[in-house]
Amino acid sequence: MKQLFFISILLGFGIQSFSQSEYREGYVITLQRDTIKGFINVSNPNACVFKRSYTDPDQITYLPDDIQGYGYPKHFIASRPVSTKDGKEIRAFVDCLLKGDATLYQYLNSFYIEKTDTLFLALSKTSVSGASAESSDNARISTAGNYVGILSYLFMDCQEIRQKISTTKYTRSSLTSIVKDYNQCKLKDFVQYESGQPSIKVQMGLFAGVNFNALKMQTNDANNDFLLSEPTYYSHSVLFGADVRLSWPRGTNKFALTAGALYLSSDFEIDETIHNSIGTDVYHGTIKTSELKIPIGVNYVLSNKGIKPYISGGFSMSFILQNSADFSRFHDDDYGEDYTDVYELFQFIPMVPPNGWFGLGISTHLSEKLDGFFEMRYETPSNISNSDNVSTKYSHIFLLAGIRFK
């Protein structure tokens, strides 16, 4: 009953957690430069999903042509013209890294600079793409070359940073640093934001769940003839664990590496009666284990919307911490004396060889610093017997619910 009560709590937590969405308090800037306060769903980088209050069932979806931009704590996303790989110009939402007299934006792996709200240019590694500026400025900038030349031209009124411009790298940190230096040189106020796509994202997770075990055994030993039919036994227990997830949002925002540790136990109660030509054998025993598993794998998010379905898989190493396989066999002999044997059915392998696992799950945003997830995971069978006359296939199904800290 206690285990059923715990399962109900986990399922209730999962249903309540995954009914929520990734809304954060923020604002929208309209085309008329009006600011509307409300809540922003931050799960979709290609659209701004907005509602007036957190409990409001109605939401408005803004595309880059509909607004000037939107923001939420430590982030500002602007609507600006950008160039695609095939040279076409589209309007898209871009991350603002630093806003001031000179403002730096990032879109995917490209950077853009804006100066005094009138000049918006791509910072190119090789050559300058089309620029939305006055014709006289275009003529001058067309001779500037790559991003170093563009920065040298735009920042020519600040001689103090000229040497640093020549050594600036085409990276988020280096470009942010030089734009920051320029605003400080001109004594202009600026705001530095966090990028909506950090280079590395690390999440620590805690979870609990239910473990369903299956143990299939077989033997070539007539003394354990109840195993000749290769029976399968089942058990379930509570498990606990923790994991770490590492992803690279600016490269691909769907793949992640994951590693963790979880503790679980099993308890198989076995009672078998076998009739044969010389009598009856009655077997009774328990097989108990407690183990530490170290699963390592990859995680792939199928959709980055509010509730994110994902698949995962990898391999797992297991360490048997405690174990027992104590058995008794009572032999009722039809032609002679009855007797009872007490013995150990098999000995355990202390470290189980790596075996595969895969899972299906969903995750969602709970708060600014917390995500929730629910996952079903299957682990392929492994042999835990170290005895020659008994072999095993020991497999697991896990139901997991937990939280991950950002």
Q: What is the 3-state secondary structure (H, E, C) of 37-99?
A: EEEEECCCCCCEEEECCCCCCCCEEECCCCEEEEEECCEEEEEEEEECCCCCEEEEEEEEEEE
The pLDDT of residue 207 is above 80:
yes
On whether the CB atoms of residues 342 and 327 are closer than 8 A, the answer is: yes
Q: What's residue 198's pLDDT?
A: 56
| pTM as predicted | 0.57
Amino acid at the residue 393: K
Residues 364-398: pLDDT tens digits? Answer: 888 767 889 999 999 999 999 999 889 999 999 99
Distance in angstroms between the alpha carbons of the first and the last residue of the chain: 35
Q: What's residue 145's pLDDT?
A: 64
Q: Find the length of the chain.
A: 406
| Rounded distance between C-alpha atoms, residue 114 and residue 141, angstroms | 13
Kindly tell me the sign of the dihedral angle through the C-alpha atoms of 373, 44, 78, 85. Answer: positive
Among 81, 83, 93, smallest CA distance to 29 is for 93
| Rounded distance between C-alpha atoms, residue 76 and residue 93, angstroms | 10
| Rounded distance between C-alpha atoms, residue 144 and residue 140, angstroms | 7
Residues 50-100: pLDDT tens digits? Answer: 999 888 888 899 999 999 999 998 899 999 999 877 778 899 999 999 999
